[in-house]
Amino acid sequence: MGQGHGWEGAVLKLLRAKDFVFTVTGAEDVTPQYRRVHLKDGGMLAVTGVHPTMWVRLWFDNAGKPHQRAYTLVDADPEAGTFSLEFALHEGCASDWARAAQPGDTIEATVHGTDFAQPDPAPSHVFAIADTASLPALNSLLSALDSAPATVWFEGERDGLPFRTAEARHDVRTLPRRDAGAHLVTQVKEALPDLLKGAAEPYVWIACDTATTRALTSYVRKELGLPKQRVNALGYWRP
């Protein structure tokens, strides 16, 4: 690869991660704080294939030091070798790169650790807890599990964001971010136990900031007693 990726890159290389270079083909502002960047895959999809909630690690320059962030593929087309990435914009080198992205720009990426196992048995009801950063993964999840109804707790403003939910099957409960995620945790704890009583084969998916994800995962596993195979959790960012 063109630049060193520090100790993180060295560890990923030992774990047989695969490196690629993506090329920007275009970009669009979905909202003033949410940007979609279109990319050519540099041959990645022909090697890796594609699966629901698939993500890649992008490498950004952060004041001369490598910085990696993970993003979920949107509308991946293995035949064309294209996909998009969606960025919830805030302060930081990843958002700065997305804001400035123009056709012809390139970025280095690593693929490692991404997978998706279809729940078995299939969910009778999906319970998803997400936020702006994990919206692309939420959309991918609900598309993959399209036979099941879903209850979604979404932390953040919904207006203008590219939700791919179906009103008839998906109950989306939008909440503001308060108290570093504690408000979301409280709301889920108040509602989830009763909702689980009516679900023969529940499946819980949690993708928020690291602390919120950890708190809710512990609650679902230890206090509500859901088995490990019925819970999928991944911390998407650190406050």
Kindly state the tokens that stand for 27: 């970009």
pLDDT band at residue 239, thresholds of 50, 70 and 90? low
Q: Which residue has the tokens 């308060």?
A: 178
Cα(61)–Cα(66) distance, rounded to whole angstroms? 5
- The domain locations on the chain are 6-111, 125-233
Fold of 6-111: Elongation Factor Tu (Ef-tu); domain 3 (2.40.30)
Q: What is the token pair recorded at 44?
A: 């990645």
The residue among 15, 21, 18 whose CA lies nearest residue 2 is 21
pLDDT digits (tens, 9 = 90+) for 187-210: 999 999 999 998 999 999 999 999
Short-list 38, 210, 222, CA closest to 131: 210
What DSSP string describes 55-96?
Answer: EEEEEEEETTEEEEEEEE-EEEETTTTEEEEEEE--SSHHHH
What pLDDT is stored for residue 14 in this prediction? 40
Q: What is the mean pLDDT of residues 107-117?
A: 85
- Tell me how far CA of residue 27 lies from CA of 36, 140, 165, in angstroms: 6, 20, 23
pLDDT per position as a tens digit, 50-107: 999 999 999 999 999 999 999 999 999 999 999 999 999 999 999 999 999 999 999 9
Instruction: Say how far apart CA 37 and CA 65 lie, in whole Å.
Output: 23
Fold of 125-233: Rossmann fold (3.40.50)
Q: What is residue 179's predicted lDDT score, i.e. its pLDDT?
A: 87
The answer to whether 56 and 137 are in contact (CB under 8 A) is no
Model confidence, pTM: 0.89
> Would you say 162 and 135 are in contact if contact means Cβ atoms under 8 Å apart?
yes
Q: How confident is the model at residue 234 (pLDDT cuts 50, 70, 90)?
A: confident
Strands 18-31 vs 231-233: parallel, antiparallel or unpaired: unpaired
Report residue 168 as tokens: 């008839």
Residue tagged 């911390």 (tokens): 235
Token pair of 4 as six digits = 């060193």
CA distances from 174 to 95, 153, 188, 199, 204 (A): 24, 6, 11, 22, 17
